[in-house]
Amino acid sequence: MLRLLRPLSPLDRVPPAFVTAGMTGIVAGLGWLDHVFGTRAGLSVLYPVPVAIAAWAAGRQNGLLVAATAMLAWLLADLASGASLAFSSVATQQLLGHVVLCVIVALTVSALRRTLNALEAALERERTIARHDPLTGLVNSRAFRGIIDAELTRASRTGAPLTLAYLDADGFKGVNDTLGHSEGDRVLRAVAVTLLHVLRRTDTVARLGGDEFAILMPETSRDDAIVALAKARDALARAMAADGWPVTFSVGAVVAGALGTPAGTFPLADSLIAEADAAMFTAKRRGGDRVAFGASVQGLQGDLFGLR
């Protein structure tokens, strides 16, 4: 909707000084045409147009500057046509009317631009809040499912493998109970920072709720996932030890597809998450602090290994 209200948005890429100079040149040209054809040609109604453009693209002050130039051009064209404004109340009223109109246009358009900018910024903040966890800044559960759907669609076309890992913090409740929730929040933020630092930029890290996190790794086979998750868990272990937090991580992972997988054989996001979640509980039942792989699309048997 806002884009429909911003037909002049391409001018945002033009420096304000250039816009102001261009609009000043246009009003000067209108003044010359007024002189050539006479003010009765009615070209004065066009003066607010460059004023509005300048106010929109270059701000209120530049809009008022172009408005002043427009009034000067109109006055000079009128004088050149033989009018005597000093003794013509009608002409004086016309001039004042044009001055007021152009000033109102400059002020109104610049105020509208500021309002639209503020509204767009507010909407962008709302979109960010709606898609991200406020504590860690990670993608939230709802947005994460949309990302999984998009990556599954892409993977179904290319046949590339896709790995989803589900992480649960072992011992996190004890941190909250003994050290307080503020310390627990520090743990969660440390997990987020560590995962974002150690994983690829193409991977997506999400907080699904509580002490549960997820990692989506496009174009990642089972062997690649083993290496990546080992690296991530090592980094998490160092981060927890650095602050003396007795927290480890149970990880469930599932691989969807592989090179040569027929199109349309990839699962839905919810089923992929459920399978990774089940694998995580398998790791937790075996004592935690380890990674379990669930059955993938290819029907691989679930397996379990510890990362000490």
The SS3 call for residue 137 is: coil
Q: Is 211 a catalytic residue?
A: yes
Structure tokens at 188: 């969660």
b/e code 75-106 from CB counts within 10 Å (16+ = b) = bebbeeeebeeeeeeebeebbeebbebbbebb
Helix 172-179, helix 181-198: angle, nearest 10: 140
The separation between the first and the last C-alpha atoms of the chain, rounded to the nearest angstrom, is: 54
Which residues, in sequence order, are bridge partners of residue 253? 165, 293
Question: Among 170, 203, 211, 277, which one carries the catalytic annotation?
Answer: 211
The SS3 call for residue 261 is: coil
Task: Report how far residue 224's alpha carbon sits from residue 227's, in angstroms, rounded to the nearest whole number.
Answer: 5
Which residues, in sequence order, are bridge partners of residue 212? 168, 209
Residues 91, 101, 18, CA angle at the centre, nearest 5°? Answer: 115
Which residues, in sequence order, are bridge partners of residue 169? 249
Task: Report how far residue 257's alpha carbon sits from residue 193's, in angstroms, rounded to the nearest whole number.
Answer: 29
Task: Report how far residue 150's alpha carbon sits from residue 140's, in angstroms, rounded to the nearest whole number.
Answer: 16
Structure tokens at 260: 């040569």
Structure tokens at 150: 């998009």
Tell the residue number behind the tokens 């996932």, with chain if given: 225
The SS3 call for residue 56 is: helix
Residues marked active site are found at: 211
